[in-house]
Amino acid sequence: YQTRMCLLKTARDFCILYHVYEKNGAYVIAGRSIEHKLCPIQKDYVRAEVLESGFVIQPKEGRSDVSIVTYVSQIDLKNIPST
């Protein structure tokens, strides 16, 4: 199996700060990349960037055993080779 056309050949890492809060019975988890001294860029990795990312987890009306989960993410993987 050849991976010549594989999009990413270098490992990626992220340093993301998430904030979790409850609003009107739903849980919101929002995150984005940050720079932080406790999260240094690792050798042999490309530091990718989460521009905006998050989940909204809300109960389904009339069903206490079911949740609706919405996930959105905007990510820059950095250094993507052209095809």
pLDDT in tens, 31-66: 999 999 999 999 999 999 999 999 999 999 999 899
Answer whether 51's CB lies under 8 Å from 75's CB: yes
pLDDT at 8: 65
CA dist 70 → 12, 30, 42, 49, 53 (Å): 24, 12, 31, 21, 11
Question: In whole numbers, what is the pLDDT of the chain averaged over residues?
Answer: 89
In the chain, the amino acid numbered 26 is A
- The values of phi and psi at residue 21, to 5°, are -150, 165
